Amino acid sequence: MADEWKKIEKKVHNFKETPEFSGILRAKVPNDYDGFDFIFDVEGQEITVFGKTAIMSNLKDISPGTAVKIVYLGEKKSQKNPKYSYENFDFFTK
């Protein structure tokens, strides 16, 4: 049937499942949290990376069209308050 509903699926990268990610930054899209989500082209597929604090602060000035590699290093305890932890990443461009 030509008028069947087709599910819309947004592909979002999960760093805990696959710690290393690389792609071409295509767009920065405002999100509901006063920040941005980042849209990447990865081998012809559009993949979204949610703009967590560390990701936003490192990618906010990167221009679309730039090749970016993000490596998830795991959670790290805060030095200021050891009760809290944050997700730690390394960022690379070329």
Compute the distance between CA of residue 16 and CA of residue 30 in angstroms, rounded to an integer. 24
The domain segmentation of the chain, as residue ranges, is 20-93
| List of the chain residues with pLDDT < 50 | none
Chain segment 45-69, per-residue pLDDT in tens = 999 999 888 899 999 899 999 999 9
Burial 56-74 (b: 16+ CB within 10 A, else e): beebeeeeeeeebebebee
Decide which of 2.40.30, 1.10.3470, 1.10.3210, 2.40.50 is the CATH code for 20-93. 2.40.50
pTM reported for the whole predicted model: 0.83
